[in-house]
Amino acid sequence: MINSIRRRPLAAYITLRSKTTAAQYVESRARDAVFEKFMDKYKNLLKVIAIQDLILSNPTRTPPSVSLDFLNRLSQKLHLNRGAASFLRRYPHIFDIYYETTVSQPFVRLTDVATQICREEAEAITATLPAVVDRLILLLSMSKSKSLPLRAIFKVWKELGLPDDFEDSVICQNPHIFSLQDAHEPHTHILKLVDEFPLRHLRPAVEDWRVTECSKEKSEMNSPVEMQYCFKHQYPSGMRLSKNFRAKVKEWQSLPYMGPYEELREMKPSKVGMRRLEKRAVAIAHEFLSLTVEKTIEVEKISHFRKWFEIELNMRDLFLDHPGIFYLSTKGKRHTVFLREAYERGRLINPNPVYNVRRKLLDLVVMGRHQFPCDN
């Protein structure tokens, strides 16, 4: 049985990780200066988005706003080390602090520029609803039961580019595809693909790279057969790769595995079986990241899907063991994983409409207190 297989650290197969604690290894791993520089800005964007969502979730006030006292009480949870007011004043192009005379206390609302960006993001999501439906189908299809807990999807709705009312606008509007069922726990629902929905041949995103790589005259792989189970690897400049390391990666690349949309079969407990299960977990993580708008997600969020995707490995260890495929950053008091191949110089290589709008908000974060450039 799968559960009976005892995990052997992938270090034995590929990364040759030394015997240190997980925390020590995270701190000592090779850092990518490009991703770390990007995370310096992105970590503050995540805080901005968290506050923005709190403001927009209070429709009882027009325009939507929350009291500064309310945000101060949430400062620790939002990782606002110097308090809410200090953080908000760093971004005058996004937040407007004003005094509400009727209740005699300061409130916070979005500026017109930030409100317009929110509006543009909602419009971009609405314009791409067919793609949103497809992403949700693919996500559910990676589960053996073709179902996932709704609460887990709620944790990643923004990463998947779902509309904030996706229960109504996506699930209820497509009863021929999705169904909501009661779970065995109170106040919990399961989102499931309907039994009658015909699942076409599902193609993982990595296949697109394999096709492109095979068509190159000077490919790193010798034949399409070698390419069949490969993943794109790229490393930060200056990272030394030993001959032994390269040999281990090449051996791992040729290892057959069951894809993210294939049903997991039982296998005999063995070293080869364990390695194939581990490679399948890499394939699922790769596909999950490929389905996200920005090709990045917090490790804690993707870990909520382990049970449903039949992954027995620790997700953080998985990302650390494959530095050529994933990059794990610990900035901002959170572990954030990026799909390496999707990025170049801190930007998506193939941006999408929702990502383009979100970059506008990131630009405001980077601008901080600086003024908009004057038109000549």
Among 209, 187, 178, which Cα is nearest to 325's? 209
* Contacting residues for 281 by C-beta, under 8 A, at least 6 apart: 309, 311, 313, 318
For residues 118 and 148, is the Cβ–Cβ distance under 8 A? no
Mean pLDDT in residue range 199-223: 78
Q: Which two tokens stand for residue 314?
A: 């620790």
Mean pLDDT of the 103-114 span: 94
Q: What pLDDT score does 225 carry? A: 67
Average pLDDT on 248-268 reads 88
Give strand pairing partners of 296.
338
Angle, helices 271-291/206-214, rounded to nearest 10 degrees: 100
Residues 305, 148 contacting (CB under 8 angstroms): yes
Q: Give CA angle at 318 (308, 342), nearest 5°.
A: 95
pLDDT on residue 285: 98
- What does pTM read for this prediction? 0.88
For residue 15, pLDDT beyond 60: no
**Cβ distance 322 to 339 under 8 Å?**
no
Dist. CA 192–CA 178, nearest whole Å: 6
Helix (H) or strand (E) holding 211: helix 206-214
In three-state form (DSSP H/G/I as H, E/B as E, the rest C), the secondary structure along 3-47 is HHCCCCCHHHCCCCCCCCCHHHHHHHCCCCHHHHHHHHHHHHHHH
Region 98-119 average pLDDT: 93
Per-residue pLDDT at 12 exceeds 50: no
pLDDT at 373 over 90: no
Residue 224 is predicted with a pLDDT of 65
Give burial (CB, 10 Å; 0-12/13-18/19+) of 34: middle
List pLDDT tens digits, range 315-350: 999 999 999 999 999 987 789 999 999 999 999 999
Q: What's the pLDDT tens digit per position in 38-85?
A: 999 999 999 999 999 999 998 788 889 999 999 999 999 999 988 999
Query: Token match 């032994």: residue?
Result: 244
Q: What is the separation, in whole angstroms, between the first and last Cα of the chain?
A: 70
Split at pLDDT 50, 70, 90, the class of 11 is: very low
Tokens of residue 291, six digits: 């389905």
Q: Model confidence over 119-174: pLDDT tens digits?
A: 999 999 999 999 999 999 999 999 999 999 999 999 999 999 999 999 999 999 99
For 259, half-sphere exposure in the C-beta direction (CA atoms, 13 angstrom radius) is 16
3-state SS class at 78: coil
- pLDDT band (50, 70, 90) for residue 238: confident
